[in-house]
Each structure stands twice: as structure tokens, then as C-alpha cells.
Structure 1
Amino acid sequence: MSGNLELLTTSPSQEQVANQLQELERPEGELHLRFYLASGQELAFSAMAIREVISAPPDRITPIPNTSPLLLGTLNLRGRVIWVADLGQFLGETSAVNTDRAEIPIIAVEDQETIIGLAVEQIVGMEWLDVEAIQQPKTTDNTTPYLRGEWLLSDRTHQCLRLLDQKAIIRSNRWAAV
């Protein structure tokens, strides 16, 4: 019984705490935001590409009639009106982001003075990833022109995390058709 009490009252040594703090202070790689599209595909943006991450109620997004189905509408972001697009549909996915919920996760990306909101299904969170481990995409699809590369997460399942290029998305000719 006393052995159990010792386990409950044992605290980490000062050395263990110092090692954990050093790991937090010296993360390896660069910070990235991981998220899911409606299809279940997981992607990432470099944190440097992101202006802001917003959870907006659908009624804050003003639909604009006679526009592309890629666009959900406009959103007032700190006094600036920005377009909000369904990132999955922009990338050629058939599944639309779920707008029938309390809040829609939106990633506001920026290039020079242009900001666009990209609606996604779910934000996973921030993670430090090794940029030196990025590989060129092994397959070509609708997403390829908007990729900076991908990380191989599992050799066994060939699961990849694809890194998007916000500049390629913002500067895309697909917006001209909108």
C-alpha cells in the first residue's frame, strides 16, 4: 500500500523538468498548422503563411449572389472585408465544407496585401515539422500545383502530410473564373 502512495507522490526530478523545458525552448523544424478538409485529407500551412485562424459563425459570412460555388461569401476581418472560399472545393474535392454548424474554421492566408479566408473542416493544431524532410509529391492530382511538398508520415501505410503554398493559392488563375 505504501508503495502505491510513493508512486502517487513522486514528482519529476529537477533534471527531468530542465530537460523538458529545453525541448520546449529548442523545437526542431518550423511551426505549421495542420488541418482537415471535408474529404478527410490532412494538409498543412507554414505558420508564416497564416495571417489569422478564425472560428466564424456561418451568419458572419455574407453570401454573395451569382458567384462561384467555391466562395462561401465575405467576412469582416478587423474592419477589412475578405473573401472566404471552401479550400477543399478550390483544390478539386467533391465534398463541401460543413456550414451547418455553430462555427466554421477559417484560415486567413496572406500574400503581400491580399488576404483570403480558406474554410476547412477541422483545425488539428500547430506542430513543429522538419522542413528538411519535405519531399516532392509522389502523385499528381488537382492539389499538386498548390503544394510546396509533403512529409511521409508512415512508410508502412504511405500516409503523407501535404504542405500547401499560400502564394500559389492566392495567385491562382482559378480565382479569375470566380
Structure 2
Amino acid sequence: MVRNPELETLNTQEIAPEIQSLQSPEGELHLRFYLPSQDEFAIPAAAIREVMQQTPDRITPIPNASPLLLGTINLRGQVIWVADLGQFLGDRVLLKTDRTEIPVIAIEEQELILGLAIEGLGDMEWLNVEELQMSSNVSDHIAPYVQGEWVLNKDSQQVLRLLDHIAILRSARWAT
């Protein structure tokens, strides 16, 4: 074995401040995203199978399907439905589908998968679910799908709402 004297004289106190500055994240990892109205929501990363950018021509419309559904896509050989999440949640601004790419979040629970078309992607962020507050100013229409909210700015009343992906996947509204 070859010994390196430079490594043997390495002072661990010189490294310690760098190691101490690395903090372990608190909370759970979530994906933040926006609806067309610019309302911001989050979904737990554990619920997400994949995040993709789909060209509108890759989303195949299905006749006589719910108006909440944009159509289907092929996700590695598996056909999945793509829903307009904003319309599902009663967003007042329609999703623009006449653009080059539409962000789609594929969520799953057990073997059930659904693609959620959204306006734009945000960041992945560690969020402490213990800091969730009861949602304020949430319409009865979306209340079953919101688990709570984090207040981002009290002055502007900016909030980040946590969606319940299981409630979305199992909603009876997809059949209408």
C-alpha cells in the first residue's frame, strides 16, 4: 500500500466548517407547480411517477370522454389519461394547449396512474408537513383535494396548497 503523507496531515478542523454547513433537509420532498391562474400547488414527490413535457399532438383526444380529460398519452408502452388539473380544480383561467409543450405530472397510487396537465413547473422543495395550516378561502369545489396550505407571505396572502393525490386519482368527477 502506498502512503500519502499529505493526506495523513490533513487537519479535520479545517474540513469541519464545510461539513457543518451541510444541513439535512427537514420535512418531505414536494414538487411545486402552477395552474393557469398562477395559483401555486404542491404534490409529494413520492406520489409522482414522472414529470414530462408533452407536445399537444402527442395527447390523443378521446371522443365522449369527460371534458376534464385532454386525452391519452403513451408512457413507455402504457396508455394513461391526461387531465386538465386546473379545470378539474375549477381554475378560472383555461389551460393554453396551443403551445409547443405542456407540462404533465404523472401521479400514481398502487397501479392507478393519471397525467395532470398544468401551466408550469416550479421547484422541488423540502416542505415540513407539520407546518401545514388549515386552508383558508378554499372553495367547496376543491376542498376535498386540498390537505392544507403553507403561508408563504402573510402580507400578500400568498399560499402554497398541498394537494391530496389519492383524492384526485379516485375522484368520481372523472366519470362525468
TM-score of Structure 1 vs Structure 2, range by shorter chain: 0.7 to 0.9
Report the equivalent of 1:90. 88
CA contact (8 A) 2:66 2:175 kept: no
Report the equivalent of 1:125. 123
Q: What pairs with 1:63-82 in structure 2 (closer than 5 Å)?
A: 63-82=61-80
Report the equivalent of 1:40. 38
Report the number of matched residues: 162
CA contact (8 A) 2:58 2:73 kept: yes
Match of 1:49 among 30, 43, 47: 47
Distance, in Å, in 1 between the alignment partners of 2:123 and 2:39 is 15
Distance, in Å, in 2 between the alignment partners of 1:15 and 1:123 is 36
Deviation at 1:172, TM superposition (A): 0.7
Deviation at 1:125, TM superposition (A): 1.5
> Structure 2-normalised TM-score?
0.87
Distance, in Å, in 1 between the alignment partners of 2:153 and 2:91 is 23
Deviation at 1:52, TM superposition (A): 0.8
**Letter matched to residue 172 of structure 1:** S
Report the equivalent of 1:4. none
CA contact (8 A) 2:66 2:174 kept: no
Q: Secondary structure at the match of 1:98?
A: coil
Distance, in Å, in 2 between the alignment partners of 1:122 and 1:15 is 40
**Letter matched to residue 159 of structure 1:** Q
Deviation digits for residues 129-177 of structure 1 (CA, Å, limit 9, x no counterpart): 1111001112230221101111111122221100000000011110121
Deviation at 1:16, TM superposition (A): 5.0
> Structure 1-normalised TM-score?
0.86
Distance, in Å, in 2 between the alignment partners of 1:120 and 1:50 is 14
Report the equivalent of 1:6. none
Two-structure CA RMSD over aligned residues (Å): 1.4
Q: Which moves more between the two structures, 107-116 or 59-68? A: 59-68
Bigger radius of gyration? 2
**Letter matched to residue 138 of structure 1:** S
